[in-house]
Structure 1
Amino acid sequence: MSGSPSPMIENYLREANFWHMTTIGRGCKLDPKLISALIERWRHETHTFHLPCGECTITLEDMQLQLGLPVDGFALTGSVQSIDWGAMCYDLLGAMLDNIYGGQIEMGWLRDTFLEPRNDSAEVERIQYARAYILEMIGGYLMPDLSRNLVHMR
């Protein structure tokens, strides 16, 4: 995502407890060598890092402390076995993508479809833009897929 979110959606991001997420990575330079070293030490079968000092893992509490997201309460998703993803996309975003891959939508479509809201935009448009922005955060750096091009609507 380019730049900070529009001030017009700040309240929606705060209400969804995603405001803190908008500041992650801003003004921070990533060290590719450090990231590569961590990736090499990750063991997928045990979900742990193998370091010279021993094994360690990332817990849900770590995520809460680092990301500022609430981790207790009711689950946000229900059964997804018989969902009409096109209708779900339209209900959440007010637009529908032609190709939805098992509930996943393309990040490029989000960026192209949801441009920054205008000052005269309706509240529903601002809410839809905030949802698209949250999906971009999730698919961009919170839980990206391997291609970094798809994000699940769940």
Structure 2
Amino acid sequence: MARLINDDPHISDAANNMGSYRVLRGRVNGIGYLPDERLMPYLEQAGFWSAALIWTFDLRYDLISALVERSPPETYTFHFSCGECTVTLEDVALQLGLPIDESPITGIITFAEPTVLCYSLLGDSPDDDESNFSGLKFTWLKGNFGHLSANATEGELMCAARAYIIHIIRGVLMPDSNNNKVHIMHLPLLADLSNVRSYSWGFAVLTVLYRELCRTTKPAVVDMGGCLTLLQSWALYRMLFLASISH
């Protein structure tokens, strides 16, 4: 596949030169359990009801790797013999149910009092010797919010809903290189659950996926972030012939 703008190495070069085939690894960290039924009203209020149901998945890394091979980093598209196509905001809205045309997601990445922030929005904070920690371990989130008491208060349910959403955001929708922790940078946006859907989460998800598609075209890269469930489901939905050979 010819370069459009620059001559940076592309993974397709190795394939064309009969080099070793690379199968990417994913930076995903699924929750592994369905949300408590009592959380569903809060997840729906926040606009994450559909996305929150992605609690487990079976990713086809051979398919994802093949898609990356056919993606020039300059266009974020996939080139096939039948034409050119790409994941769009419409796909994000249809498959994940996330808002795509609301306010952009912005914020800060460092906090003066992260412990106070966690206590106010999650009702708890991990034991950490560092006063300026920025990440919550996924195991901590599961251990503290995976099982709710039968008499949980409304405040506790709202905290659990925020924990579930932030796990979905950083573990499935927009995972980064630190795949054993979830950054708290998005936590302030979840303070008012009724206002969460006023942000374009779908736009942010697609942006991160595009960035990862560009990064993983480099032959030396072996792992991929971004919403791989979206990429795979898009491919199987838009290109029906793949579904017939995916088993």
Question: TM-score normalised to the size of structure 1?
Answer: 0.79
Q: What does 1:96-115 correspond to in 2, within 5 Å?
A: 96-97=125-126, 98=128, 99=130, 103-115=134-146
**Is contact 1:49–1:55 with CA below 8 Å preserved after alignment?**
yes
Confirm whether residue 3 of structure 1 aligns to residue 33 of structure 2.
Answer: yes
Q: Name stretches of at least 5 consecutive residues in structure 1 with no aligned partner.
A: none
Q: Which has the larger radius of gyration?
A: 2
Show the counterpart of 2:198.
Answer: none
**Is contact 2:70–2:80 with CA below 8 Å preserved after alignment?**
no
Of the structure 1 ranges 52-61 and 89-98, higher mean CA displacement relative to structure 2 is found in 52-61
1:52 to 65, 71, 80: 80
100 and 17 in structure 1: CA distance in 2 versus 1, 3 angstrom threshold = farther
**Is contact 2:52–2:164 with CA below 8 Å preserved after alignment?**
no
Confirm whether residue 38 of structure 1 aligns to residue 64 of structure 2.
Answer: no
Superposition CA RMSD, Å: 2.7
2: distance between equivalents of 1:25 and 1:57?
A: 25
Query: What is the percent sequence identity of the aligned residues?
Result: 38
Which one-letter code corresponds to 1:24 in the other structure? I
Cα offset for 1:77? 4.1
**Is contact 2:169–2:175 with CA below 8 Å preserved after alignment?**
yes
Which one-letter code corresponds to 1:4 in the other structure? L
Q: What does 1:55-74 correspond to in 2, within 5 Å?
A: 55-74=84-103
Of the structure 1 ranges 90-99 and 7-16, higher mean CA displacement relative to structure 2 is found in 90-99
Which one-letter code corresponds to 2:43 in the other structure? L
Confirm whether residue 23 of structure 1 aligns to residue 53 of structure 2.
Answer: yes
Confirm whether residue 89 of structure 1 aligns to residue 118 of structure 2.
Answer: yes
4 and 82 in structure 1: CA distance in 2 versus 1, 3 angstrom threshold = closer
User: Which gives a bigger RCO, structure 1 or 2 (Cα 8 Å, sep 6+)?
Assistant: 2
**Is contact 2:111–2:132 with CA below 8 Å preserved after alignment?**
no
Which one-letter code corresponds to 2:122 in the other structure? L
2: distance between equivalents of 1:103 and 1:31?
A: 31
2: distance between equivalents of 1:9 and 1:15?
A: 10
Q: Name stretches of at least 5 consecutive residues in structure 2 with no aligned partner.
A: 1-30, 187-247
1: distance between equivalents of 2:124 and 2:144?
A: 8
2: distance between equivalents of 1:143 and 1:47?
A: 20
Give the number of aligned pairs. 151
Show the counterpart of 1:117.
Answer: 148
User: What is the DSSP-based 3-state SS (H/G/I as helix, E as strand, rest coil) of the residue aligned with 1:90?
Assistant: helix
Cα offset for 1:52? 2.4
138 and 48 in structure 1: CA distance in 2 versus 1, 3 angstrom threshold = same
**Is contact 2:70–2:78 with CA below 8 Å preserved after alignment?**
yes
User: What is the DSSP-based 3-state SS (H/G/I as helix, E as strand, rest coil) of the residue aligned with 1:48?
Assistant: coil
Which one-letter code corresponds to 1:52 in the other structure? F
